[in-house]
Structure 1
Amino acid sequence: RKVFSFLYLSAMHWIVSEEPPVPKLDVPSVEDLLLTQEYTSTTDKLQWLKIKLAITKEQIQQVAQLTAGQRNNHLWAMVRKNRLTASNFGPVLAAIRRNRFPPSLFKQILSSYDLSTKDAILWGITNKSVAREQYCSFGDAVVTETGVWLHESGVLGASPDGIIHRAATYNYSHQDPEVAELLEAIGLRPEIMEVKCPFSARNLTIQAAITSCKEIQTHNGKASYRLKQDHHYYDQVQGQLHILNKSACDFVVWTTKDIAIVRILQDAMWTPNMEKLDDFYFSKLLPIIQQ
């Protein structure tokens, strides 16, 4: 009877005990700001929003830590909501160049399309950890998961697939082979990782996949790979490098048969796109969010 009473009291204590505190994100929600009385009553709404959405370096670090795990972390989706993230930089920049902004673009950005059940999306989500593990076998590399990194404007963000603490030391190509020796000499190392697991090439070697794999190409016909600069993935990688303020990224393409690693430097020629993306957010995307 005493044992039963002890177990009963222990169970009751577990049931009525307080839930552990949920980490609080110290960043403003775009939606919440738009619903405040202060926003509705202010004269210069755009300027007010820009001030309220801007964040500090400390807030940027906190968000990245609390959203680690990406899709497995509910805070990750909360932070991304109503913000423009690097995976959509390519389509947005293409729309800016064409000066055409179809409804499908805004649906894609604001996640009105549910892609979570698509075979290609599921394949990528499932196998990114496998690709990271294989990458780490090339010279005892060390990579950890990370979360959403926001730009100081508070409206642009990026979620790389890993932070590289010790990079792969072999089996990689340089995006710019001409400067490879110089980079090796000065010891420049990649600090972030982006992984792609193309569903269409899942059972092919990288060399065999070149014809069907739109994002990657050989360099001068040799088995040295480059990310095509006119592909949306290049904009995604550059967006990550600029938002996180990192020098280089290892872009990883993984299949069940092979892996390719392309070391990509931050591109100064791409930098003006950050201002274009910021302008797109406030002039084109924000009015859609307000609706």
Structure 2
Amino acid sequence: MTSKHILKLSSINGFFENDNTIIKRGENALESNHIKFMQFDADLMIIRGDVYASMKDKTYRNEITLNKSGEIIEGSCACPRGFRCHHLAALALFGHYNISVTDKQCTWNASKPKNAEVKTSEDIYPSKPYFAIDRQINKEELNALREKLDLFGSTVGFTWLLKEETPDDKSNGAVFIIIEDIISSNEFCSSENKGEYLKEKCAIDDQQIKLIADITKGQTLNENWFLVRKHRITASNFGLILSCFKRNKFPPSLFKALAGAYNLDGIKSIQWGRTHEKTGLDYLKTNLNLDVQPTGIWLSNSGLLGASPDGLVGVDSIVEIKCPYSFRNDKLSESLKKQNTYVIRYNESGEIVINSNHKYFHQIQGLLHILKRKKCYLCIWTLHEIITVIVEIDQLWAENLSILENFYINHYLPKLMKE
């Protein structure tokens, strides 16, 4: 390890805003040999590297940009979180110990750790209590400060931080639970019944569920949405799991799909759906006069299952948009006459109905049951036709929630623990 570090621990702490949780996870990843590769470009002051994901069968490309003083000015990671993640922390720490001020463009393939003791950031920079003044402020003084700042309106930034806490605010201390943090904790590892421990830690009430749905609005554009859904079973996979459950066979491909091991960004059908989803939403708003409101991810009370509808309508309805790539150039009502395997089909009376054997049926029922709503506006969009079907909640489907939660504890959790 080098003695003259170009990337100092103080810079790493500053970039991660002294978030000890992320930094400690970065240290754990470093000690577990999760750095696969690192390259330093001294001219551009850029550190690039590949860091193993927690599952160790996938790597994420990371990039850290430094200024001439060795301070981190920018960092990015290809993981769902995207920035200020433990992968970046691990690469930064690896860079701290391996890049000297005299290095030019160099490449490292991570080697086995030596016996030398590595101090943690907490050992080197122990936290100290901080007091802005040398006496206690009483409530009257604090209220007087609030009143004076209110006179300036929005001119003074962050005055919302000084607002008095309401009972609702106090109950929202920990907004959401990250499952990865639980299963990597010492308490979980030492617990005798890990399934029961996880269920106890993940269980949430209706108020927390609504709060999480609110702070994850924007879904794929919102970092919190990725954090909440990670290691949870989401509605888009309900049909796949229930199909495997009926056959009592759970192939490796199932767990790869649940872990997000397949990169869907390059699949044409996925890109097509993402591109045209807004067109379907606009149709519902304009032609059916629906007031569609955006939402985030909703969790079951167990905290193990999640559902992200494409929108909310009123207090009892949701919206789901499908843009089938295989039917993109078809008039869907004509194509359905030739096959009956899609999510909608013709019945014997010539009416278009929902196909209860299709995976989208299970996705929609999962959405309705987790959100506790009564109906779904299923809008299917193609270039030549738009068909909207109202799907009512099927109360008998509710038993599948228990099946899915039991699958999580008995099958999915053991896989997560191994990885």
Please give the range of the TM-score, normalised by the shorter of the 2 chains. 0.7 to 0.9
* Cα displacement (A) at 1:268: 1.4
Find the counterpart in structure 2 of residue 79 from structure 1. 228
Task: Say if 1:225 and 1:260, in contact at 8 Å, map to a contact too.
Answer: no
Find the counterpart in structure 2 of residue 60 from structure 1. 209
**CA distances 1:63-92 after superposition (whole Å, capped 9, x unpaired):** 111111111112111111100000000000
Q: RMSD in angstroms over aligned alpha carbons?
A: 2.3
Structure 2 CA distance for aligned equivalents of residues 258 and 132 of structure 1? 14
Which residue identity is paired with 1:34? I
1:135 aligns with 2:262: no
Find the counterpart in structure 1 of residue 395 from structure 2. 268
Which residue identity is paired with 1:55? I
Match of 2:348 among 214, 217, 220: 220
Structure 2 CA distance for aligned equivalents of residues 24 and 205 of structure 1? 51
* Cα displacement (A) at 1:24: 8.9
Structure 2 regions of 5+ residues with no counterpart? 1-72, 74-156, 161-171
Find the counterpart in structure 2 of residue 8 from structure 1. none
Alignment coverage as a number of residue pairs? 250
Match of 1:69 among 207, 218, 221: 218
Task: Say if 2:345 and 2:353, in contact at 8 Å, map to a contact too.
Answer: yes
Structure 1 CA distance for aligned equivalents of residues 403 and 226 of structure 2? 24
Relative contact order, higher structure (CA 8 A, sep 6+): 1
Structure 2 CA distance for aligned equivalents of residues 24 and 85 of structure 1? 25
**CA distances 1:142-167 after superposition (whole Å, capped 9, x unpaired):** 102211000010010101111013xx
Find the counterpart in structure 1 of residue 406 from structure 2. 279
Structure 1 CA distance for aligned equivalents of residues 216 and 415 of structure 2? 26
Task: Say if 1:195 and 1:252, in contact at 8 Å, map to a contact too.
Answer: yes
Larger Rg: 2
* Cα displacement (A) at 1:221: 5.1
Structure 2 CA distance for aligned equivalents of residues 86 and 139 of structure 1? 26
Task: Say if 1:88 and 1:109, in contact at 8 Å, map to a contact too.
Answer: yes
Task: Say if 2:204 and 2:302, in contact at 8 Å, map to a contact too.
Answer: yes
**CA distances 1:260-283 after superposition (whole Å, capped 9, x unpaired):** 111111101211111100000000
* Cα displacement (A) at 1:42: 2.3
Which residue identity is paired with 1:53? C
Structure 1 CA distance for aligned equivalents of residues 354 and 308 of structure 2? 19
Structure 1 CA distance for aligned equivalents of residues 348 and 227 of structure 2? 44
**CA distances 1:162-182 after superposition (whole Å, capped 9, x unpaired):** 1013xxxxxxxxxxxxxxxxx
Which residue identity is paired with 1:148? I
Which residue identity is paired with 2:343? E
Identity of aligned residues (%): 36
Matches for 1:177-188 after TM superposition, within 5 Å: none
* Cα displacement (A) at 1:285: 0.5
Structure 2 CA distance for aligned equivalents of residues 225 and 145 of structure 1? 28
1:94 aligns with 2:222: no
Which residue identity is paired with 1:208? E
Structure 2 CA distance for aligned equivalents of residues 79 and 25 of structure 1? 12
Structure 2 CA distance for aligned equivalents of residues 142 and 129 of structure 1? 14
Question: Which secondary structure does the structure 2 equivalent of 1:226 belong to?
Answer: strand
1:43 aligns with 2:207: no
Which residue identity is paired with 1:145? P
Task: With the length of structure 2 as denominator, give the TM-score of the two structures.
Answer: 0.57
**CA distances 1:228-250 after superposition (whole Å, capped 9, x unpaired):** 10000000000001000001111
Structure 2 CA distance for aligned equivalents of residues 24 and 71 of structure 1? 24
Task: Say if 1:86 and 1:236, in contact at 8 Å, map to a contact too.
Answer: yes
Task: Say if 2:177 and 2:228, in contact at 8 Å, map to a contact too.
Answer: no
Matches for 1:165-184 after TM superposition, within 5 Å: 165=314
Task: With the length of structure 1 as denominator, give the TM-score of the two structures.
Answer: 0.81
Find the counterpart in structure 2 of residue 12 from structure 1. none
Structure 1 CA distance for aligned equivalents of residues 189 and 289 of structure 2? 55
**CA distances 1:102-153 after superposition (whole Å, capped 9, x unpaired):** 0000111110000111100000011111101011122421102211000010
Question: Which secondary structure does the structure 2 equivalent of 1:194 belong to?
Answer: strand
Distance 1:24 1:256, change over 3 A: farther
Find the counterpart in structure 1 of residue 367 from structure 2. 240
Find the counterpart in structure 1 of residue 256 from structure 2. 107
